[in-house]
């Protein structure tokens, strides 16, 4: 993330009332490997280019005043991939956390991570903890990375925590509400996503924020994540602003 906003980004106008923008955007960043293979490149090149896209989109969301951006970086199912690719992803994540930390601080971004920490390397865990600690007092956009994340596992962990409180006698079964479950998810205290973007044309949710996106607007592009840019983000936001969100009611 450059220390000053990209001049090109400043020339892009978004003809929307800021009140029509989503409060929270969640993105499934799909297609890094596919993008590389289509160009005869190793999959690692796709992940490297994808990291550059992250920088660009984070910068633009900050510029637009988005409250939270949550990026699906590594799913709990991704451990099935070849070990060489997993090792590269861990190294890339560690490098991203180190290289971008100063600019995250400069832009007043609060960094968060959701997912199970078991299985992540000690180096990545250390950098995650450092980024979370150093940005805890920031008041700008929240950048949340979903790493080793799976929504079903998240719900299981929440149910276990709630069951433990019931067993201990500190929570009555009759007192369990939707808010009780939400308060025990990894995303406790965060707003639910208003807009879910998925790249690479896949029409599925891939075990991502299943509880939280109950009323999110979905937007899918056939472009792979390394090709995603500010113009596509703007198109998603324009389409979002044109939709009527009724939340089950009538207008």
Q: Rg of the chain over CA atoms, in angstroms? A: 19
Q: Regarding beta strands 68-75 and 110-114, do their DSSP bridges make them parallel or antiparallel, or are they unpaired?
A: unpaired
Q: Cα–Cα distance between 104 and 249 in angstroms, integer?
A: 39
Q: Which of 78, 157, 207, 229 is catalytic?
A: 78
Say whether 6 is catalytic: no
Exposed/middle/buried for 131, CB within 10 Å: 0-12, 13-18, 19+?
A: buried
Q: Of the residues 30, 32, 148, 194, which is catalytic?
A: 30
Q: Are strands 142-149 and 68-75 parallel, antiparallel or unpaired?
A: parallel
Exposure pattern of 197-213 as b/e (b: 16+ CB <10 Å)? Answer: bbbbeeeeeebbbebbb
DSSP, collapsed to helix, strand or coil, labels residue 16 as coil
Asked if 30 is an active-site residue, the reply is: yes
Q: Report the catalytic residues.
A: 30, 78
């Amino acid at each position: 993330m450059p220390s000053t906003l990209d001049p090109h980004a400043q020339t892009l106008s978004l003809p929307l009332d800021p009140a029509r923008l989503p409060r929270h955007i969640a993105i499934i960043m799909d297609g890094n490997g596919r993008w590389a293979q289509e160009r005869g490149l190793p999959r690692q090149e796709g992940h490297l280019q994808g990291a550059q896209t992250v920088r660009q989109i984070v910068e633009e969301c900050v510029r637009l005043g988005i409250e939270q951006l949550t990026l699906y970086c590594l799913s709990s199912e991704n451990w099935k991939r070849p070990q060489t690719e997993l090792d590269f992803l861990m190294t890339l994540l560690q490098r991203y956390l180190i290289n971008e930390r100063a600019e995250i601080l400069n832009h007043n971004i609060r960094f968060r991570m959701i997912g199970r920490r078991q299985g992540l390397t000690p180096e990545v865990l250390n950098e995650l903890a450092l980024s979370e600690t150093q940005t805890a007092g920031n008041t700008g956009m929240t950048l949340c990375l979903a790493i080793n994340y799976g929504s079903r596992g998240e719900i299981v962990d929440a149910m276990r925590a709630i069951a433990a409180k019931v067993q201990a006698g500190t929570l009555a079964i009759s007192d369990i509400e939707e808010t009780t479950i939400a308060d025990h998810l990894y995303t406790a205290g965060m707003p639910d996503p208003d807009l879910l973007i998925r790249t690479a044309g896949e029409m599925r949710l891939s075990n991502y924020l299943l509880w939280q996106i109950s009323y999110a607007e979905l937007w899918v592009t056939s472009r792979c994540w390394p090709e995603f840019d500010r113009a596509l983000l703007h198109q998603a936001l324009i389409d979002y602003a044109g939709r009527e969100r009724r939340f089950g009611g009538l207008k």
